[in-house]
Each structure stands twice: as structure tokens, then as C-alpha cells.
Amino acid sequence: MAADGNKRKRPNILVTGTPGTGKTTTSSALAEATNLRHINIGDLVKEKNLHDGWDDDLQCHIINEDLVCDELEDVMEEGGNIVDYHGCDFFPERWFDLVVVLQTDNTVLYDRLSKRGYEGAKLSNNIECEIFQVLLEEAKESYSEDIVKALKSNNIDDITRNVSSLTDWIRSWPPTS
């Protein structure tokens, strides 16, 4: 458990994974089921201008990690947050009580990202990221391994099952032992 975990009335969960693995879908369903606050980092960065401009090659904002962490410090200390982002190594370790890494089979992910309009290097980089389990490795390096949980996200049944087991976990907070 994270060092500060016991002080929080409600836990903080990080939902991470390669783009397209279902972070936003899962996080918003989980927020609805539990009344936790869903924080989509990509949206927050755009909304509050927490970036250093636009990366033409990667076709995304260049996130300013320090500004993001400053922006979220108070709300994370309070607890009860589901943070949704395709990266996990720059958040303070103490923020999270559970780190969920969503995973999707390559062929399924390829179709999802193509539908989203990804092509060329952006598409192949993300597929490679999933093949090499980059986010799972990043999560294990950044957090205690016993709070990192990899969950399959190939179909709607997986989402239902994941949301249900995570809801149970949140409802049983704080842990008794």
C-alpha cells in the first residue's frame, strides 16, 4: 500500500495503459459506479493549458509534468480520484493506492486505433508500446509491485468485469489488515 494510503478516506486509483486500451471508458464507468472523481489527464492538460505547446511529430500536446502534479496535489491528498493517463512515471508514488494497467490484444487494439484515425508512426508506435508491455513495466518500476494490477480489456465483458471488481475493491476501502 502507498505510504499515505491509510490516511485517505477514499482511495486514489491510477488507470493506465497504451492509448485505446479503454482507460477512459473504464474510468468513467467506475466513477459512475463509485462516485469517485474521474480525472482525464489529457483533458485537464488541454483545459488548463498545462503543456509546452504541440508536438507535430507525435500529434499531441507536450505535457508539462510539473504543472500537472502541482495542479493535482490538493485533490490527490484528499483522496477519491481515478486518474486516467497513458503514462505513469511522473506522478508521486505516494498518490496511489492501486495502479491498474489495461491491456489489449494487438489485433483488437490495431482496429480501435485505426478507427480513431491513428496511422503511420503514431499507430505503429502505440502497437509496439502494447506488444512490449511498456506501461506495465513503467508501472512496476514506478510503484510497489503489490499495488500494480494488469487487467485485460479486449471486449465489453472485460470492461464489465473490471469495473465490477474495482468497485468491490473501492467499497472495501480502507483495507482491514
Q: How far is the CB of 116 from ligand DAT (least distance, A)?
A: 7
User: Which residues are known binding-site members for ATP?
Assistant: 20, 22-25, 116
CA distance 24 to 46: 16
Backbone angles phi, psi at 94, to 5 degrees: -65, -15
User: Which residues are known binding-site members?
Assistant: 20, 22-25, 116
Q: How far is the CB of 6 from ligand DAT (least distance, A)?
A: 30
Q: How far is the CB of 113 from ligand DAT (least distance, A)?
A: 8
Coil vs helix vs strand at 150 = strand
* Residue 142 vs 153, nearer CB to ligand DAT: 153
CA distance 94 to 59: 31
Report the relative pairing of strands 148-152 and 13-16 from DSSP bridges. unpaired
Binding site for ligand DAT (CB under 6 A): 17, 19-25, 112, 153-156, 158-159
